[in-house]
Amino acid sequence: MLIAIDVGNTNIVIGGFDGDYLIFQARIQTNTHKTSDEYAATISAVLSNYGVDFSTVVDTIISSVVPQVTDALASAMQSLCNRRPFIVGPGTKTGINIRIDDPATLGADLLTDSVAAADQYSLPVIVVDMGTATTISVVDENKAFIGGAIMPGLRLSQEALSDRTAQLPHIDLKYEGKVLGTNTIDCMKSGAIYGTAAMIDGVVMRIEEELGQKCSVVATGGLAQQVCKYARCNAVYDPDLMLKGLLCIYNKNKRR
């Protein structure tokens, strides 16, 4: 079994692959103050809960956007599996040509998403990843990462709105109502969900205009499913995109 781990600013996603099949997926909270021993205990409990026998784990691959967590998590997995994890970073073979001003600054999350999207969707493809930040990445027909956009994530924006206003409460982000809300809560939810969907539609439209061609659109991340059903850009929701990207990268960089 291959253990694939995506370290985000809010959550760490852990997936287990048997060959090309994703057997399980779990989430734990990202905590920059945890030690390697604490991460080892947490991950051991999570994997045991899914019936994972550590003797069957042949390797681990990690993609991380939180440097403070990367080393602690790598040490934790080494102690659990007796092998130092493969960490996505500079020099990693991906099959993607990075054509931005400074390729070394491209986040591991954007790269991993793009690898999976280029492998599984028609090109050019636009990837929308809705996590702590909402990121948009573009891979052209030649499998080149050519740029993107980064904006505050939906939950982050709503927390800022509630924290900085006297009368707007904290809300959940589940909404099935109309665009025109008739009370404060529904107005906030409508603004969050429909507003984000419209933002994505607008950015996708402008990217396609800039490229002069239509693109496939794939969305992933914790809030993507809720938002994409209201978007008009025909985005395909793929909750496992990041883990699929890690599997692709691992297969290109297999260690003996």
The model's pLDDT over 141-162, given as tens digits with 9 standing for 90+, comes to: 999 999 999 999 999 999 999 9
Q: Is residue 253 part of a domain?
A: no
Q: Is residue 157 part of a domain?
A: yes
Residue 112 and residue 185 share a domain: yes
Domain-ending residue, one of 87, 115, 144: 87
Largest CA distance in the chain: 61
Residue 33 and residue 83 share a domain: yes
Q: Is residue 255 part of a domain?
A: no
Q: Is residue 30 part of a domain?
A: yes
108: confidence class by pLDDT, cuts 50, 70, 90: very high
Cα within 13 Å of Cα(158), Cβ side = 21
Domain-ending residue, one of 39, 58, 87: 87
- Long-range contacts (CB closer than 8 Å, 24 or more residues apart) made by 149-158: 149/203, 151/199, 153/223, 154/130, 154/192, 154/193, 154/196, 154/223, 154/227, 155/223, 156/132, 157/192, 158/188, 158/192
**What's the average model confidence in pLDDT over 159-180?**
93
Residue 111 and residue 69 share a domain: no
Q: In whole angstroms, how far apart are CA 191 and each of 52, 117, 158, 179, 208?
A: 42, 29, 10, 8, 25
Residue 53 and residue 109 share a domain: no
Asked if residue 256 has pLDDT above 60, the reply is no
Residue 216 and residue 113 share a domain: yes
Q: Is residue 128 part of a domain?
A: yes
199: confidence class by pLDDT, cuts 50, 70, 90: very high
Range of the domain at 78: 2-87
Residue 106 and residue 77 share a domain: no
Are 74 and 84 in contact by the 8 Å Cβ rule? The answer is yes
Active-site residue (options: 6, 109, 113, 129): 109
The pLDDT of residue 36: 96
Q: Does the active-site annotation cover 109?
A: yes
Q: Is residue 203 part of a domain?
A: yes
pTM for the structure as a whole: 0.92
CATH classification of the domain holding 212: 3.30.420.40
Residue 67 and residue 116 share a domain: no
Residue 229 and residue 166 share a domain: yes
The pLDDT of residue 40: 96
Residue 237 and residue 113 share a domain: yes
Residue 236 and residue 127 share a domain: yes
Residue 122 and residue 57 share a domain: no
The pLDDT of residue 186: 96
Residue 23 and residue 141 share a domain: no
Work out how many domains the chain is built from and give that number.
2
Q: What percent of the chain has pLDDT over 70?
A: 99
Residue of 28, 48, 27, 50 whose CA lies nearest to 38:
28
**What's the average model confidence in pLDDT over 195-204?**
97
Domain-ending residue, one of 60, 87, 114: 87
Between CA 139 and CA 213 the distance in angstroms is 13
Asked if residue 90 has pLDDT above 90, the reply is no
Q: Is residue 251 part of a domain?
A: no
